[in-house]
Amino acid sequence: MWGRFFLAAAIAALAFLAAAPDAPRNDFRFAILGDRTGDAQPGVYERVWSDIDVQHPDFVINVGDTIQGYNDATAGSEWLALQPLWDRYRYPRYFTPGNHDIWSAGSRVIYEQQTKRPAFYGFDYQNAHFTVLDNSEAADLSLSMSDQQMQFLARDLEQNQARDPKFVFFHKPFWLIPVKFQTSRFPFHQLVKKYGVRYVVSGHGHQYVRATQDGIVYLEAPSTGGKLKGQGFEQGWFFGHVLVAVHGSSVQMTVQEVGRPFGNGRSINP
């Protein structure tokens, strides 16, 4: 008798769960920081963090070049100098290595100690997945990712293929030339397309650039303090950050220019 009762109760519970609508698995926002250095402009990085704090994102991720670097003897102190600013805001931080962050074996050790993360890694946030790659020491004219990074990316995406959306971050945007000429004939693009990556985000150029290829959005984040190499808001030469809102499988990006005295507080909604 009791066995039949518990069986009936279990069947009823399963039926209820099957009939209940699935709750949305993604409902979060995060901020993308561009390059702080490459001749850091005083006060800009601090002002961008102030702007981000108003928006209360769930976490912050950058595209590299956090310190000026290129000196193993002073690298550690450069990282430590930024800690009071980060302690003021307390948002979870994810880092991407840039050429100003890693340029030698010693600087790689310091980078991983200070960021408390390896130079390349993957992480989940709710049902979304993020892959951070390291091409900090690649030649600027290289049009590909190293074999090591491609192998890691393939494994990481294979293990997380059911997650959506998927984002890939790395510093140097080797994709600029092939995507500009609307070609998908490069191995990196074929790999991310295979696994349904929807956004590829880089930095390095200190210019906001957005392009699409086969439905994949390629983005170069605007400078978050690194010296601008050109002029004109419409051409992407401005200081700012990107706010990303993820709801279910929907992704909305808002590119936000920093306010005065470093900018006019304009925004772009691609």
**pTM, 2 dp:** 0.91
CB contact set of 20 (below 8 Å; sequence gap of 6+): none
Alpha helices in the chain (DSSP H): 2-19, 44-55, 72-89, 105-115, 147-159, 176-180, 187-194
The C-alpha atoms of residue 49 and residue 241 are separated, in whole angstroms, by: 9
Amino acid residing at 260: R
Angle made by CA atoms 198, 33, 59, in degrees to the nearest 5: 75
| Adjacency order of strands within the sheet including 121-125 | 121-125, 128-132, 166-169, 199-202, 216-220, 209-213
The predicted structure's pLDDT at residue 140: 83
Q: Is 29 exposed, middle or buried (0-12, 13-18, 19+ CB in 10 A)?
A: middle
Amino acid residing at 213: Q
Helix (H, G, I), strand (E, B) or coil at 227: coil
Label each residue of 190-219 as H, E or C. HHHHHCCCCEEEECCCCCCEEEEECCEEEE
Where are the domains positioned within the chain? 24-268
Q: Under a CB-based contact definition with an 8 Å cutoff, are residues 253 and 243 in contact?
A: yes
Q: Under a CB-based contact definition with an 8 Å cutoff, are residues 241 and 48 in contact?
A: yes
CA 267 to chain centre: 19
Phi, psi of 123 (to 5 degrees): -150, 155
Q: Along the 270 residues of the chain, how does pLDDT read in single tens digits?
A: 444 444 444 444 444 434 344 544 999 999 999 999 999 999 999 999 999 999 999 999 999 999 999 999 999 999 999 999 999 999 999 999 999 999 999 999 999 999 999 999 999 999 999 999 999 999 987 888 999 999 999 999 999 999 999 999 999 999 999 998 989 889 999 999 999 999 999 999 999 999 999 999 999 999 999 999 999 999 999 999 999 999 999 999 999 999 999 999 999 998
In CATH, the number for domain 24-268 is: 3.60.21.10
CB contact set of 175 (below 8 Å; sequence gap of 6+): 186, 188, 189, 200, 202, 218
The predicted structure's pLDDT at residue 9: 44
